[in-house]
Structures are given as structure tokens and as C-alpha cells.
Amino acid sequence: MSAHTPHGHGDHGHDDHAHGDTHGHGSLKGYMIGFVLSVILTAIPFWAVMTGALGDTQTTALVIMGLAFVQIVVHMIYFLHMNTKSEGGWTMMALVFTAVLVVITLSGSIWVMYHMNTNMMPDMAAQMGGGM
């Protein structure tokens, strides 16, 4: 009896550990919610691009970037199990780091695609019409 109390290995400590383990792991319901949200957040941008429903390419790009950020948050919550608990991993540094990576990746991708479009074949239309 004295072995359990001084060392803190009593039933109370074991219950906290077990509760922490089950809280950190996902359930089938949680995974299904995350999966459905991920499919929806993937289908909406696909639909917007394929149908041209938003009309303007800049608006479409902004909507896609916004939905991409929401999808990252969905993945962090439902698949990486990040939450507000201190050991759960949802800290301000993780969120800031994720936001910085998203901004760098998205802005870099848009910058590269824009410059590839304008600089790769600048006279392609003139060559096709007058070169033959």
C-alpha cells in the first residue's frame, strides 16, 4: 500500500494515463467526419475549376487557397489529432509554423506558375501565325 502512494503509481495516475491515451486517438466517427470534410473540400475546388462557376480566375484562385487552408486545419484536427490540450500538440507555434508553410507554398506556387506562363514562350502566338 505504501508503494502506490509515495511513488504516484496509484489507480488515479493510471486512469489519467488511460484517459489521455483514448482522448488522443481517433475514433471511426472522427475519421469519417475528417474524410467526408476532406472529400468535400477537394470536390468544391475541382468543381469550381472544371465548370468555371466563379468566372474570374483570381477569385477562383483565392477560393481554392482558402479551402486549402481549411483542409489543412481539418487534417490537423481529425487526422493528426491536434487539440487544445498542452500535450495534444495544438500549440501556437505549430499553428504559426503551419500558416507560414502554407503562405510560402501557395505564394511560391502562384509566383512560379505566373512567371512560367509569361516567360516560357512569350512569342508563341506570333510564331504560330507568321512562321509558317
pLDDT, one tens digit per residue, over 11-44 is 444 444 444 444 456 789 999 999 999 999 999 9
Question: Residue 68's closest CA among 35, 113, 102, 108?
Answer: 102
Spatial contact of 118 and 61, defined as CB atoms under 8 Å apart:
no
pLDDT, one tens digit per residue, over 52-82 is 898 888 899 899 989 998 998 898 888 877 7
C-alpha cell at 69: 487552408
Instruction: Work out the average pLDDT over 106-121.
Output: 84
C-alpha cell at 112: 512560379
What percent of the chain is helix, strand and coil (3-state, nearest 5)?
75, 0, 25
Question: Strands (DSSP E) along 48-102, which ranges?
Answer: none
Q: Give the pLDDT confidence score for residue 83 in this predicted structure.
A: 67
Q: Give the pLDDT confidence score for residue 70 in this predicted structure.
A: 93
Average confidence score pLDDT of the chain: 76
pLDDT beyond 70 at 95: yes
Rounded CA separation 32/38 (Å) = 10
Rounded CA separation 25/33 (Å) = 14
